[in-house]
């Protein structure tokens, strides 16, 4: 069964460094998403991406964040200058169509630790 995959599973970085989190969505899906979950808190929406552009983003998704689909298979989240408060689990998801009628498939997550 197709799955969303994410690499790495755990990333440790120093404050101020740039990190890129990678995701491979399910191959025929058209919508891509990033969510994050700070330890002990709710899963929070960051951004959705469709047709090679951001379709929605939350207040969390500020200028420090960017997303890209550099080729036909990968979907990346870049954090330009990491802060301690960026430490969280980051989940990638994809869906064939809009989320109301199409299941979002989630990846296993990348745990980001900022020191």
Residue ranges in contact with other proteins by CB under 8 A: 3-4, 31, 33, 35, 41-45, 48, 50, 55-56, 58, 91, 95, 98-100, 103-108
- In the bound state with other proteins, the residue whose beta carbon lies nearer, of 50 and 69, is 50
Q: How far is the CB of 25 from other proteins (least distance, A)?
A: 13
DSSP string, 53-110: EEEEE-TT--TTEEEE--SSS-EEEEESS--GGG-EEEEEEEESS-TTTSPPEE---E
What is the Cα–Cα distance from 51 to 73, expressed in whole angstroms? 13
Q: How far is the CB of 84 from other proteins (least distance, A)?
A: 22
- In the bound state with other proteins, the residue whose beta carbon lies nearer, of 35 and 82, is 35
Q: Which residues share a beta bridge with 3?
A: none
- In the bound state with other proteins, the residue whose beta carbon lies nearer, of 4 and 21, is 4
């Amino acid at each position: 069964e197709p799955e969303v995959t994410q690499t790495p599973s755990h990333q440790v970085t120093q404050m101020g460094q740039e990190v890129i989190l990678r995701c491979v969505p399910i191959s025929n899906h058209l919508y891509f998403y990033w969510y994050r979950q700070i330890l002990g808190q709710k899963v929070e929406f960051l951004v959705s991406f469709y047709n090679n552009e951001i379709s929605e983003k939350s207040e969390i998704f500020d200028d420090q964040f960017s997303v890209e689909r550099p080729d036909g298979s990968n979907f990346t989240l870049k954090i330009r200058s990491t802060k301690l408060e960026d430490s969280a689990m980051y989940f990638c998801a994809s869906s064939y169509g809009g989320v109301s009628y199409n299941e979002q498939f989630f990846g296993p997550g990348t745990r980001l630790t900022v020191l």
